[in-house]
Amino acid sequence: MDKKALYNISYGLYIITSKKENAFNGQVANSVMQISSDPASLLVSLNKKNLTNEFIKSSRRLAISVLSQDFPLSLIGRFGFNSGRDIDKFDGVNYKLTDGGLPYIAESTLAYLEAAVVNEVDAWTHDLFLCELTGAEVIKEGLPMTYAYYQQIKRGNIPQDSVSNEPNLKEKESKMDRYVCTTCGYVYDPEVGDPENQIPAGTSFEDLPDDWVCPVCGVGKDDFEKEN
């Protein structure tokens, strides 16, 4: 059995949020699917260990921010590589509330969906929440972030050139080494730089400032290894 076959399943990328009493939490997830349009209903799968799962079980409600392709890596890192048990993930984040009082990310989000849990299925490590839609708004037009786009382009796992239609870019050979974050898998590609942190394309890993950190998970340069 080759489990890599599973990589061919396509997904979106979302931030799932919920509340417990007066506290908010949220996490990155790819596991959202529509069940039916009438009633408008959704399925969300979340790991049992996650605080967001605990909050959903408490409030029986959740919101889904549908991320745009330009959603910043730093926010994916904030919601995907930290636990709400350690930090307040919403501290400093531009968020708004749905009509039902749940937080959604207000920047680089195409739409939000708000839902109430009507059933729950135990699925090994995860809980499947079967939800009925209670609110939804389109925030802006744009292309939604897919899990594949995040893996391949935002995290630099394939050079941006290889998906470009420009023949000159396709043929260009990278002379500088790429480095991989050992914590989160982000790849620093000198051809791309780190535009979100004002590192221009063409900056080698060695030339990154000493205080540069992984744009996704925040670890320092020492936690990077040269890509094989």
142 or 193: CB nearest Fe ion: 193
Residue ranges in 66-85 that form contacts with Fe ion under rule CB under 5 A: none
- Least distance from C-beta 205 to Fe ion, angstroms? 13
- Least distance from C-beta 171 to Fe ion, angstroms? 30
- Least distance from C-beta 180 to Fe ion, angstroms? 9
101 or 220: CB nearest Fe ion: 220
28 or 184: CB nearest Fe ion: 184
Strands (E), 48-154: 61-67, 95-97, 103-105, 109-123, 126-138
- Least distance from C-beta 12 to Fe ion, angstroms? 22
16 or 217: CB nearest Fe ion: 217
Strand (E) or helix (H) holding 27 = strand 23-29
- Least distance from C-beta 30 to Fe ion, angstroms? 18
Tokens of 167: 């023949």
Question: x/- string (CB under 5 A) for Fe ion, residues 157-186?
Answer: ------------------------x-xx-x
Compute the distance between CA of residue 78 and CA of residue 75 in angstroms, rounded to an integer.
5
Angle at 203 between CA 72 and CA 213, to 5 degrees: 50
Question: How many of the chain's residues bind Fe ion (CB under 5 A)?
Answer: 7
* Sign of the CA dihedral running 147, 148, 150, 155: positive
59 or 182: CB nearest Fe ion: 182
- Least distance from C-beta 50 to Fe ion, angstroms? 19
Compute the distance between CA of residue 157 and CA of residue 140 in angstroms, rounded to an integer.
28
Sheet architecture: strand order including 179-181: 187-188, 179-181, 224-226
Residue ranges in 182-211 that form contacts with Fe ion under rule CB under 5 A: 183-184, 186
Residue ranges in 208-227 that form contacts with Fe ion under rule CB under 5 A: 214, 216-217
Per-residue H/E/C for 143-179: CECEHHHHHHHHCCCCCHHHHCCCHHHHHCCCCCCCE
66 or 181: CB nearest Fe ion: 181
Site residues for Fe ion per CB under 5 A: 181, 183-184, 186, 214, 216-217
